[in-house]
Amino acid sequence: MLNDDVEQEIALIRDTDLISDRDAPAGVDHEGLGLARRVWTSHRRWVAAILLAHKPREADLDDLLQSVATAVVRKIGDLRDPGAVRAWLRTVAINEARLAARERGRRRKGLRLVGQREQARPEPAGVGRSAEEAERIDSLMRLVAELPESYREPLMLRCVRGMSYRQIAAITGLKETTIETRIARGRRLLRELVEKSEREGAGTEREQREPKDTAAVTGGVS
Amino acid sequence: MTDDQNDNTSNHDGGTPPPVGPVTDEELQAFAAEVSRDRLLSRVVDGEATPTDFAALRELAAQDQAIWSDLSGFSADRDLMEFAVEDAGDRAARVDAVAGSSAAVRTVVPWAGWAAAIAVAALAVFVPRGELPDGTMQSAGIVPVDLNLTSDEALDQYLELGQQEGRVVAEWPEPFVLETNAVSEDGSVEVVYLRQILERRVINEGYSISVNEWGEPVAVPEPPAAHLLPAIRRAKPIY
């Protein structure tokens, strides 16, 4: 099945669209441009999952997606083996995410001129869903960010519709059984984080309620 | 040794402290059983479970009722993560590689060449006219500006002096690219962009515009505090 996928991929990549050369950035020829568009269009959904797993929390996903798309066009000439397109794309995406992390650090330094700390801006999650659901997604993704990177990536990829353990193994270059183990361990660790966070949340709520109750009792006695 | 144990990340970097001292066989077995149980639950949640897996699940559940709450927790977490990944995929689907590559020329085109126009514009706004005998311009009665400077040098000078005066806070490192157009066969690209300089001023007098009884606009003195605005967290880029 995997071989069929690769064959289809190669066929897809060879079948380049007719795209105006006017659209091409400097240094990228017509064929390269068609190839880049094909590669990006076929794989961008799971590339987004890779970025979710590797990007710094405060980085803007839309900006990163744009950077990866641009990098695909710029570097398409480096892709020698069409069968290795997934691994190549994964590397491009991870490099862009790391670049964003470094850039983020540099920008923070620059802005310390005023002695202000830049606000960590949470990524808006669950657009178009109820506020409560969006908040739950956002809270969970904050906890996902605490997982080790090696667990985050397979976990995120498994959430791409239709992506099997085998396909994740092909992208990451790991064995299928290793992927399965990492997903299972990632889920366990995430569960522990969720439960810990719920306990702490419940504790805080109790603390906030308790002084009120005490005041009410005191009021009654006096 | 199984793959579970081969997976180096399984044992240490997950937030639980590494075991101190030698690991006993019992501990190793308990860990392997836990991983095996979680793998089974994961396969069920992912829809990859076989009939043998379901039989194993029933057997486990007969001894360990907690398996149902674990299953439900895994499943709930997965649903929420799926929403997040789906949302990210939808965003990716809106990004076109070719259109994106021309809009993102900002990442490959060097700054220096195309900063000129804005630099000149900035000087036109901030430097009042008044030529000095040595060919320099008088700026706000304080700093002479050398007319032989390139626009980039002049802007750099403005930023430096502005920082010294406490007026310029920082220059945002990345300009917003508004538009790119191919201009010639050699691949040159015209870039229309917004350069951002963060500045501050202390204002002690303010006015609002009102109308008098004849309907004419008049300036009414007002304390600047009346015009306090909420902090802007982040300006959205214009694409």
State whether residue A16 is helix, strand or coil: coil
Q: Residue B86 is encoded by which pair of tokens? A: 């789906």
A126-164 residue pLDDT tens: 556 678 888 899 899 999 999 998 999 999 999 998 789
| Cα–Cα dist A194/B15, whole Å | 13
Of A48, A103, A141, the CB nearest to B89: A48
Of B35, B92, B101, the CB nearest to A25: B101
Give how far B53 is from chain A: nearest CA, Å.
Answer: 14
Closest residue of chain B to A28, computed from CA coordinates: B187
Listed residue (A156, A32, A185, A82) closest to B82, CA to CA: A156
Interface contact A159-B169, CB threshold 8 A: no
Of A23, A67, A113, the CB nearest to B169: A113
**C-alpha separations of A45 from A49, A53, A82, A174 in Å:** 7, 13, 19, 20
* Residues from chain A contacting residue B46 (CB–CB below 8 Å): 158, 165, 183
Contact A170, A9 (CB under 8 A): no
**How far, in whole angstroms, is CA B97 from its chain's centroid?**
20
B183-224 residue pLDDT tens: 777 777 778 888 888 888 777 776 666 777 777 777 777 776
Interface contact A72-B6, CB threshold 8 A: no
Listed residue (B184, B192, B194, B180) closest to B102, CA to CA: B180
pLDDT at B221: 74
Q: For the residues A191-208, what does the mean pLDDT come to?
A: 83
Q: Which of B8, B34, B91 to mutate to test the interface with A (most CBs of A within 10 A)?
A: B91
* Residues from chain B contacting residue A47 (CB–CB below 8 Å): 92
Residue A136 backbone dihedrals phi, psi, to 5 degrees? -65, -40
B217-237 residue pLDDT tens: 777 777 766 666 655 444 444
Q: Which residues pair with B191 in a beta bridge?
A: B180
B129-164 residue pLDDT tens: 344 444 444 444 344 555 678 888 888 888 888 888
State whether residue B69 is helix, strand or coil: helix
Check residues B212 and A168 and name the one with the higher pLDDT: A168
Most confident of the ranges A38-42, A184-188, B21-25: A184-188
The whole-model pTM stands at 0.57
Interface contact B9-A151, CB threshold 8 A: yes
Of A70, A137, A184, the CB nearest to B104: A70
Check residues B123 and B24 and name the one with the higher pLDDT: B24
* Residues from chain B contacting residue A28 (CB–CB below 8 Å): 101
Contacting residues for B19 by C-beta, under 8 A, at least 6 apart:
B27
Interface contact B85-A194, CB threshold 8 A: no
pLDDT at A45: 92
